A and B are shown apart, each in its own frame.
Chain A
């Protein structure tokens, strides 16, 4: 596809369940970002990959959050033992350059923890 693709678009998880969110970036893009967007708020940075290297994970809110990009393309954001405060839209973005200055965003995954 031409754009950043995220799946699933919607996910409902029971509290305590583990979830995995997928991001397919634009082919050839070296940079990949994950953001968390709570209802009525702007996105907040979670983590940054340059190819397969996770260079910045300072925004991950707890050790229950884990992200990987093993081959420098597809990325997965995993949340273990989900809690209600994890309910949010999770946005993925990719960029052909280092850093987010030319970032293209996906449509996000809306996670609801019940």
Chain B
């Protein structure tokens, strides 16, 4: 079974600084998707960024970028120029190519200090 591990329950960053959230996963599949979701207090999961495993290039969405290391099964999220609105729970998720069940990590709570 695939598992997703987020080893940082909490992280803190100063406004305008850069922070990296860690995620590792375990799988025997070669084709899959990886995601980072943001969950603010409103509870709605918002997709931050998505990576397809067959693509070697790291995905980037504005201030958000990932460091995808397929051999190491690592998928970290870098947030640049952190803003107060970035404060939330961040979840790493895995989805096998032909699977319907997305697997989530336990989450990292990010605090942004003004």
B-binding residues in A (CB < 8 A) = 33, 40-45, 48, 55-56, 58-59, 89, 91, 93, 99-101, 103-108, 110
A41 to chain B, nearest CB (A): 6
B44 is contacted by which of A41, A58, A101, A106 (Cβ under 8 Å)?
A: A106
How many chain-B residues does the 8 Å CB contact rule pick out?
23
- Contact check, B100 vs A103: say whether CB atoms are below 8 A apart: no
Stretch from B12-20, B77-85, B103-111 contacting the other chain: B103-111
By the criterion CB–CB under 8 Å, are B104 and A42 in contact?
yes
- B11 in the interface, Cβ–Cβ < 8 Å? no
Contact A99 to B42, CB < 8 A, known contacts A44-B104, A55-B100, A59-B101: no
The answer, yes or no, to whether B43 is at the interface (CB within 8 Å) is yes
Chain B residues lying within 8 Å of A40, measured Cβ to Cβ, are 106-107
Report the number of A-B residue pairs with Cβ-Cβ less than 8 Å.
Answer: 58
B27 to chain A minimum Cβ distance, whole angstroms, is: 15
- Contact in complex: B105, A58 (CB < 8 Å): no
Find the B residue at minimum CB distance from A93.
B45
A56-B100, A59-B101, A99-B100 known; A42+B91 contact, CB < 8 A = yes
Contact partners of A41 in chain B: CB under 8 A: 106-107
Asked whether, in the complex, the Cβ of A48 is within 8 Å of the Cβ of B42, the reply is: no
Q: How distant is B98 from chain A, measured CB to nearest CB, in Å?
A: 8
Contact status A108-B33, CB under 8 Å:
no
CB distance from B103 to the nearest CB of A (A): 7
